[in-house]
Structure 1
Amino acid sequence: MRLRPALVLWHRWFGLLGALWLFLLGATGSVLVFYEEIDHGLNADWFTASPGSSLPVSRMVGAALEAHPGNRPGYIDLPDEPGDVVTVYLEPVATPGKPPVASPSYWQVFVDPATARVLGARDANAIDLSRRGLMSFLYTFHYSLHLGRRMTWLLGLVGVVWIIDHVVSAVLSFPSAARWKESFRIRRRAAGHKRVFDLHRAGGLWLFPLTLTLAVTGVYFNWYETVIAAVDRVSPLTERPDAAVPALTTPLENPPVGLDQALALAGAARVDSLSYNPAKGVYWLRLFDPRDIDSNGGRWLFVDARSGAVVGDRHMNEGSAGDIFVAWQFPLHSGKAFGWPGRIAIFLAGIALCTFVVTGLMIWWRKRSARREAGRRSGVRPAPSVAPAE
């Protein structure tokens, strides 16, 4: 088989087999670009803090644990601006001698920093399409369809094949080197099939850098360990400071150095979030820093929960080429690396991805119908064609 017909066949079957997944990823991804804005609009009472100075963070964590006993704080997201609330993410406490729960609840608890009053809570793993749980549901749906790790892995595989298909579609988009400019053009007076074809081909070329970025970064998130291992082989990654801390014989659930003491070690730096690892007895603080490349804190501070000593302090986007590549994955996938223009670009790329899926199916259906009609008229069943769509 010649190269071009083989590439057409690949592109067609990838489009047919991957259409549903790509459409769902594009649609949910576009919504998630504005996750915080939509969530705050739907649940304003959960995200509106009382006026006044902030109480110690330990008070807010205590209130969250009191409302949902049997859990431990896994991650604490502090206010980015005055008027924001504290979000405490709770993890179930493992019971010695008992197997872990198959589908545990991971609570997001929203606490007023001025009063330590719990404003609301939701299970991040729940299938909840109400206004309370919609955005949390979409977040998990985006990377696993709420079907667990196997689906997460499968969507990562779709991303890998999608990267390959970017190369294939780019080759197919330029059937003639002398007329390459026409591939970028959407004919103004074209209608029907020609307009659909132009939208599919030219739109794909214009947004090629964005959709390829989404494919690469999506594989990073769904195949995190595999990608990290591959990057480390090419450009060795800087080891996290807490990785060198040996695990404790018994998890330290009530450390001598409390949350408030650990936060005080940040000094004048504004803290974005923090978490605690009882298996090693180490706090991890994320601090805002002028070197940040998005709206999340990029400076990492690690604190020994037994002595209060700082065991590590580094910025995530500094180090080897591999470190920088990893640091840019979320800012690029979310568009936050370039502020509002970047977010809008990712939103449009998600909408465009849905459009490419629909137009691709329309092109396939038209060619399929034309072959069937030709076969009906000739009385001969035609063999599947691998000719270019246009």
Structure 2
Amino acid sequence: MAKNNFKKIVRKIHLWLGLSSGLVVFITALSGCLLSFEDELDSFFSPEIHIPNQYTDAKVGLDSIAETIHTAYPNYSIKQLFLFSDPHKTYLVRAFSKTKEERLLSVNPYTGAIQKNVNFNNRFFIKVLHLHRYLLVDGVGQIINGISTLCFIILLVSGFIIWLPKKTKYLKQRLLVKWNASTKRVNWDLHNALGFYVIPFAFIIGITGLVWSFDWVENSLYFIFDGKPKQTINFEKKHIAFEKVAQQPLSLDNIKSKTDSIFNFEGNLRFIFENSSKAEKIRVIKEQTGTLIPNKRSQLYISAKTGEILKILPYRSSTTGQKVRRMIYPIHTGTIFGWPSRILICITSLVVASLFITGFFIWYNKNYGKKKKKSNRIR
């Protein structure tokens, strides 16, 4: 009796959390499915942004590219520069105009020519990302999304409890879809069977997704693995002697050459031009490619005023918490094991989205379908 009462309570929790958060989960799941193949889809539909339109024997220097951008767009301020080890990819530049409009410039690394200049925030996949994380509403959207993700995790647990059959002889019914049954039965089977199969993968997606919604989740991760909260970089404590990268004005080519000599491995480079109240810094991130561990990044900080190296942070010096935190993104998106895990995450996202639809019809048929039949009989 107590067991039946417990399941009734769980069903109520499952029902009301599903009705209240299901639409948000549906939107997040579908947008997440698209984002699983963002690079391939964006390159296919916007090749002029990602693929060089002309090749030569050697690439143009970064200083020359920066000069080309400043000449063509004197009102632009470069904030980030992306260089890829793949010879078939363009360089990407994120810049701000004086009106604070963020632009994305695609530069041919072989000719130095600007292939495309687009509004960064108006790009399709940026819209999809904002929908996925913030429901297109900054601040409030992030909170709603985070709460809905918490509800989703509870839905997975409660759904599993409801799924458990009373007797083992009914187990087969819970694992298969009876396609030759009525529409209601097929809908029920789809919700139960598909929901069961994706539970472990959906749970991983939900747990990792909380990191972007709540600071306490990220802080908890650092506490678990490091025993302390996330640490900020202390530039006052000098672990290395200051070393000049180049004389003023700073050369991006010299910075790249110095970074490659410090971090002697194949990888993608990302220049971030940071502004602070104390000093202007250039942050260079080098992400190693061709490694089993994804998101393996080493970092270098350089003073934009003096050209001195402020901090060298190789990946091996990262704490366990930092390494685990960097694994969250590839786990969440499925890039951790390449195509197989990406396809798995995409299928899981589609199934999760379908659970809202099948679950809604289970509720609707139970509460309104029967009433409609009864009313017809009364007439």
Same fold flag (TM > 0.5): yes
1:181 match: secondary structure:
helix
Provide, for residues 244-278 of structure 1, a one-character-per-residue CA deviation record: whole Å limited to 9, x for no partner. Answer: 1159xxxxxx9754322221122242341232323
Residue number among 75, 89, 92 corresponding to 2:80 in the alignment: 75
| Percent of aligned pairs sharing the same letter | 17
- Spell out the pairing of 1:1-390 with structure 2 (5 A cutoff): 2-49=5-52, 50-52=54-56, 53-91=58-96, 104-126=100-122, 133-176=123-166, 178-179=168-169, 181-182=171-172, 183-223=174-214, 225-236=215-226, 243-245=233-235, 257-265=250-258, 266-267=260-261, 268-272=264-268, 273-279=270-276, 280=279, 281-288=281-288, 291=291, 293-294=293-294, 296=295, 298-305=296-303, 306-309=306-309, 311-315=311-315, 319-320=319-320, 322-373=321-372, 376=375
TM-score (norm 1): 0.81
Unaligned runs of 5+ in 2: 238-246
Cα distance in 2 between the residues matched to 1:317 and 1:245: 16
Q: Deviations over 1:140-168 (max 9, x none)?
A: 22212322122122211211221122111
SS of the residue corresponding to residue 326 of structure 1 reads helix
The CA deviation at 1:28 is 1.5
Q: Which runs of 5+ in 1 are unaligned?
A: 94-100, 127-132, 248-253, 380-390
C-alpha change, 1:177 and 1:316, in structure 2 (3 Å) is farther
Residue-by-residue CA offset, 1:112-142 (whole Å, 9 max, x unaligned): 111221111222323xxxxxx3223222222
Asked whether the equivalents of residues 303 and 312 of structure 1 are also in contact (C-alpha less than 8 Å), the reply is yes
Seen in structure 2, the aligned counterparts of structure 1 residues 116 and 215 have a Cα distance that, compared at 3 Å, is: same
Q: Deviations over 1:282-312 (max 9, x none)?
A: 4232231565523x5x221213223443622
Deviations 1:76-122 (A, max 9, x none): 221231121001112467xxxxxxx8xx5322211111122111122
- How far apart in 2 are the matches of 1:345 and 1:124? 29
What number of residue pairs does the alignment pair up?
354
Does the aligned pair in 1 maintain the 2:103–2:119 contact within 8 Å? Answer: yes
Once the 2 structures are TM-superposed, how far is the Cα of residue 70 of structure 1 from its aligned partner? 4.1
The CA distance in 2 between the partners of 1:154 and 1:308, in whole Å, is 44
Cα shift readout 1:21-56 (whole Å, capped 9, x = no counterpart): 122112111111111111111122232212122112
> What amino acid maps onto 1:312 in structure 2?
I
Give the TM-score taking structure 2 as reference length: 0.83
* Contact 2:298–2:313 (8 Å) recurs in 1: yes
Report which of the two has the higher share of helix. 2
Q: Distance in 1 between matches of 2:331 and 2:108?
A: 31
Per the TM alignment, residue 66 of structure 1 is displaced from its structure 2 partner at its CA by: 4.5
Name the structure 1 match of 2:243. none
Q: 1:378 to 1:41 in 2, by over 3 A?
A: closer
Query: CA–CA distance in 2 between the matches of 1:372 and 1:241?
Result: 59
Distance 1:378 1:328, change over 3 A: same
Contact 1:238 1:319 in 2 (8 A): no
Deviates more, 1:282-291 or 1:235-244: 235-244
Distance in 1 separating the partners of 2:255 and 2:267: 11
C-alpha separation between the residues in 1 aligned to 2:204 and 2:140?
23
> Is the 8 Å Cα contact of residues 317 and 323 (structure 1) preserved in structure 2?
no
Distance 1:222 1:207 in 2: 22
| 8 Å contact from structure 2 (residues 299, 312) kept in 1 | yes
- Alpha carbons of structure 1 residues 40 and 341: separation in structure 2 relative to 1, 3 Å: same
- 1:285–1:300 CA contact under 8 A, matched in 2: yes
